[in-house]
Amino acid sequence: MSELVYNILKEKIEILYQRSGGLWNANNLESSETDFATDVAPLNIVFAGQYSAGKSSLIKMLTGIESIKVGAGVTTDMVTQYQYKSLNIWDTPGIHAGECEQHDATALEAIAQADLLVYVITNELFDDVVGAAFRNLCFNQGRAKEMMIVINKFESDSADKETKIMGITQVLEPKIPEDFPIVFTDAQSFFDSLDEDDEQDRQELLLLSNCDGVSKAIDEFVAQRGLYSRLTTPLQQLQIHLESKIDVLTISDPLQQGLVSLLTQNKRVFQANRRDLIKKVGANLDKLNGQIVELGNRLADALGGEKEEFEKLQDNSILECERLIKAALEDIQITADECLSDLETELVELANTPASLKINEALEAAKKFSPEAETGNVSSVSKDGPLKLNNTLSQSMTKSAEKGFSFLAKSAVGDASKTGLKSVSGSTLHTAVKEIGGFFGHKFKAWDAVKIADKIGKGAKFLGPAMAIFGVGMQIVDDYQQSEHEKEIIKIKRDIRKNYKEHSNTVKKSIDAQFDKLLTIGFDQAIDNIDEALFEIRDQASKKSDAANSLRAQLEDVINLREEIQSLY
């Protein structure tokens, strides 16, 4: 069984924290208990669904916990929680198990705490009771985005996967199978493999069990839901602690200390506004996605009425898609302008603080300072003047500072000391803001990029003939024909909803690509320059300290792990 990525990453974080604690002690650095409290919330996975579907077997297959009882006749009659590394896994009684109503109440209580709901059914698929319970969770309780479907005992009959998927389509409406992670497994084959001596037979049984597929599906779901972001919080805290301790060990010059502090504050302003913008644009895109999907649902629900009315609704839906996308782009443009304006304001306020003005004045003086010209003229240096802060500052330090503040202007250090940054008009940041203005305006039309008429229109035009077959005046010859017609209608409805869902995803990808450019120009370039400046300043000082070098190596590991986790979501 391949280990869940969440557990692997959590273990890496714990190792980094333990190693950091050792470095703290070895170098006699002050620390508090909070410095090494990883405090990562466990991932809550609840297995729910059909009575006797094999939920306990799946949990045992996933975790390897030997104490879990499985086998014929073994049923779960209460909610049981298993702690497996950084996972909380909940086993629940079968929905409407028939024993007592309390089973359902305890199961629903656990479900309410779930990050991920694994809804388990067998190869016999949904019956009326289990299907109704699924729909209640999915639609009445709004848990659709947290649900994945596992079809266990798949090897018990000869039907293929597509047939099984078509068999659950009606229960999922108005959603479609593509809206859910769906995994096929046969847990019993996994346990049979444990007793198999022949290696070839054992591998075949493992393949039939699809145990690795279950783990992979959970990993992909965790990534899709952004739950890996929980792991970056303790890493961010550890990074801050490491950077602070490196500065304590290496940076004694007051100007260096002030410069590092100012650059760090600017970086945090960029990061906070970047997170805010991503959150707000994400909300815009989620709203757009819901609106487009709803258009597909309405069109699918209209199937079976008059042909002319249906085709009219289809044409209107395409026009409405274009209108919704245009409105969403306008909203995103307004959101981006507001966030960038807030960023600009915060940077100006920070640049005009007394400490910032003092540092900028000292940087300008350091830039102009000539040791040869000042030889024998020490008395001319004021005790409280900027050179007092900078008697050892090298030219490379001022260049690093210029690089770090390059988002303000090409000559940021000099301009800062002269103007106090009362305005960033004409700065690199201001220019970037103006460039971004066209990203979501008239220059960019997502409906042109994705060819909406081709994606939706042509994809649904085949429904014209279908309307003649499935219209309200259709004569049903026998029960078999009626059943086949109903299956075909379900298939066509699924195709309609799938087309609209695919179109929504294509629009999102197109906007995301443009949004990435905005983030790069407006935020990432500045953050990268600040990081590079901080690295150079700290690197010049840290070469003087072996202890600082060991912390820097640790810091690099922390940053690399953060980037690895961020790449997953």
Q: Is a pLDDT exceeding 80 seen at residue 218?
A: yes
**Each residue of 526-537: pLDDT tens digit?**
888 888 888 887
Q: Is a pLDDT exceeding 60 seen at residue 505?
A: yes
Q: Is a pLDDT exceeding 50 seen at residue 379?
A: no
**Each residue of 302-321: pLDDT tens digit?**
877 677 788 788 888 888 88
pLDDT of residue 179: 86
The pair of three-digit structure tokens given for residue 58, joined into one six-digit string: 């799946």
> Which range among 15-19, 242-246, 526-530 shows the weakest confidence by mean pLDDT?
242-246
pLDDT of residue 288: 92
Mean pLDDT computed over 329-335: 85
Is the model more confident about 381 or about 393?
A: 393
Which fold would CATH assign to domain 41-224? Rossmann fold (3.40.50)
Beta bridge partners of 90: 46, 81
pLDDT of residue 287: 92
**Each residue of 81-109: pLDDT tens digit?**
888 887 888 888 776 544 444 455 666 77
pLDDT of residue 291: 92
- Across the beta sheet with 116-121, the strand order is 80-84, 87-91, 43-49, 116-121, 147-151, 182-184
Is the model more confident about 38 or about 14?
A: 14
Q: What does the alpha-carbon distance between residue 71 and residue 177 come to, in Å, rounded to a whole number?
A: 30
pLDDT of residue 377: 43
The pair of three-digit structure tokens given for residue 69, joined into one six-digit string: 């009882």
From the number of C-beta atoms within 10 Å of its C-beta (0-12, 13-18, 19+), residue 78 rates as: exposed
Residues 6+ apart with CB under 8 A from 16: 235, 238, 554, 557, 558, 561
Q: Which of 191-200, 373-382, 405-414 has maximum average pLDDT?
A: 191-200
pLDDT of residue 445: 54
Show the DSSP H helices in 136-210 as ranges.
161-172, 187-194, 199-209
Mean pLDDT computed over 419-427: 48
As a whole number, the mean pLDDT across the chain is 75
Domain boundary assignment for the chain = 41-224, 249-374+383-542
Q: Which of 170, 151, 169, 148 is nearest to 159 (CA)?
A: 151
pLDDT of residue 326: 84
Mean pLDDT computed over 185-210: 86
Is the model more confident about 159 or about 189?
A: 189
Is the model more confident about 254 or about 542?
A: 254
Whether 47 contacts 63, CB under 8 Å: no
Per-residue pLDDT band for 554 (boundaries 50, 70, 90) equals confident
Mean pLDDT computed over 212-238: 82
pLDDT of residue 538: 75
pLDDT of residue 474: 47
Q: What does the alpha-carbon distance between residue 83 and residue 89 come to, in Å, rounded to a whole number?
A: 6
Q: Which of 363, 3, 361 is nearest to 216 (CA)?
A: 3
Q: What does the alpha-carbon distance between residue 74 and residue 69 come to, in Å, rounded to a whole number?
A: 7
Q: Is a pLDDT exceeding 70 seen at residue 470?
A: no
Q: What does the alpha-carbon distance between residue 562 and residue 557 come to, in Å, rounded to a whole number?
A: 9
Q: Is a pLDDT exceeding 70 seen at residue 428?
A: no
Mean pLDDT computed over 137-141: 84
Task: At 382, give phi and psi (nearest 5°).
Answer: -65, 145
> Which range among 155-159, 314-318, 322-326, 521-525 shows the weakest confidence by mean pLDDT?
155-159
